[in-house]
Structures are given as structure tokens and as C-alpha cells.
Copies of this chain bind each other. A is one copy, B any other.
Amino acid sequence: MNLDNTDLQLLALIQSDDSISIEVMASHVGLSKTPCWRRVQKLESAGYIKRRVALLDAEKFGLGVSVFVQVKTNQHDANWSEDFARTVSAFPEVVEFYRMAGEYDYLLRVLVKDIPAYDRFYKRLISATALTDVTSNFAMEQIKWTTQLPLPTLSKE
């Protein structure tokens, strides 16, 4: 499937605000309701749109602290990796989890209320995974956080 400028406009629109009606979307991209609706359906069934969610305000729940956890390991066989991935992913506090190139093997972003809450998480993590080499870096401030992908800019025609 090939996307044209109108598709990209629609995607840019709904990844920034999905609460607008089809009618409003249609007028933004210069279409009428039906063809606009059909494009969105198509983008959804083709998998460009993965899901529609509400983003909650972390501050309201006291979840003000992001901790970046760097993990080094000497275990590298496939079974261990799978177990590790599953175990770590199961923690709801782990909101991001990457396998890295370079010095550290894994990077986690952990979202907690405060330092004591992180300490409790940390202990549970260590005991669940038997990790030894773990470095924690605390974020003081979240300057930017977005779910919006950097989409290709519109081509002229």
C-alpha cells in the first residue's frame, strides 16, 4: 500500500488528536465524509494505525519520576534472554524496555512515584532476575514526551 499526501495528513491529524469527528477531519484534508472515512478504515486495516488510546496525566497519579536503568549481563543464550524479556516486561512500572548495542545490554525506563518507590521496584527486579550489574539514572524533569512519530514531510505534486 502506498500513502499519498492526504493519507499522511490524516495520520498526522489523528496521532495528535483522535477525538475529532470524521467530518472535521474531512474538512481539514479537503475531502467529504465518506472518502475520508474510507481512507481511515483502510489505514487501520493495513496496520498503519495500531490502536486508539487515552493518554493519562502521570502527575495526577503522583508518577513523577522516570528512572533509566542500564543493565549489563554475561548471560546471552536464547532461553535466558526470552525469560528475562518476559519477566521484566511483566512489571507495569517498566514502560519502556530495549535491547541495546554497546556497553550496556538493556535499557529500561521505569515510572514510579518517588525514590522509595523506585527502591521497592529495584528490589523486586533484582530478586526476579538475579541481575548483578545495574545502573540507575534518575530524570529530574521530562522536557518532551510524545507518541507522535516523525512522519515523512509531504511531497509536492
Contacts and interface: CB of A to CB of B under 8 A. Distances in A.
Interface stretch (A27-35, A58-66, A72-80, A122-130): A58-66
A86 B47 CA distance: 33
Contact of A137 (B66, B102, B142): B102
Give how many copies assemble into the complex.
2
A145 to B, nearest CB: 5
Given A50-B55, A54-B52, A143-B85, A107 B137 contact: yes
Nearest to A108: B144
Interface residues of A, number: 60
Interface of A: 11, 14-19, 47-58, 60-61, 63, 66, 68, 85, 88-89, 92-104, 106-107, 111-112, 137-152
Q: Interface centre among A50, A57, A61, A144, by most B CB within 10 Å?
A: A144
Given A11-B54, A49-B55, A68-B100, 11 more contacts: A15-B54, A15-B56, A18-B18, A18-B53, A48-B60, A50-B55, A56-B151, A61-B151, A68-B98, A92-B148, A101-B140
B47 A60 contact: yes
A151 to B, nearest CB: 6
Given A107-B137, A150-B63, A144 B53 contact: no
